[in-house]
Amino acid sequence: MTTVSNAFIPVSDPGQAAKWYSEHLMLRTVTVSEWTAVLTGDGGATVTLMGPLSGIAAEPGLAWATCGFLVEDLTGMRDRLLRNGHGVSVVEGDPDTCLFFTVRDPDGNVLLLTDR
């Protein structure tokens, strides 16, 4: 069996991005440097926010999600992001399979939030 352990997202400033992901997506910051920031949630997988000094070839502002963020309360998370001024998509999908919505981080990267 294979388990996904890490996803990568290009950002302009790892420290600032880590603050946003912590505050708005409720992820815990593991490490922050001038190159990257590593965050984790309850499942043990990590997301690495890759800054320009990391050497990553991708520019921030990805128009597609590099990973999905599983949230316990999808509607509550969407409402919270809306209250904080973030543009979010409508909830889409099939209640029997997966519901999801998207939001953009401050660097313009599309993030996918799912209920399973």
Q: What is the pTM of this model?
A: 0.93
Q: Which residues pair with 69 in a beta bridge?
A: 113
Give helix 14-25 / helix 74-83 axis angle, nearest 10°: 120
pLDDT > 80? residue 2: no
- What average pLDDT does range 67-93 have in this prediction? 96
DSSP tag of 88: B
Query: How many domains does the chain divide into?
Result: 1
pLDDT > 90? residue 1: no
**Is 83 inside any structural domain?**
yes
- Rounded CA separation 74/99 (Å): 8
Per residue in 37-52, pLDDT (tens digit) is 999 998 889 999 999 9
78: containing domain:
6-114
- Rounded CA separation 4/67 (Å): 10
- What average pLDDT does range 73-83 have in this prediction? 97
Provide the pLDDT for residue 105.
97
Indicate which CATH number applies to the domain containing 22.
Answer: 3.10.180.10
**Is 65 inside any structural domain?**
yes
Provide the pLDDT for residue 4.
79
- How many Cα atoms sit within 13 Å of 86 on the Cβ side? 25
H runs (alpha helix) in the chain = 14-25, 74-83
**Is 1 inside any structural domain?**
no
pLDDT > 80? residue 29: yes
SS3 of 6, please? strand
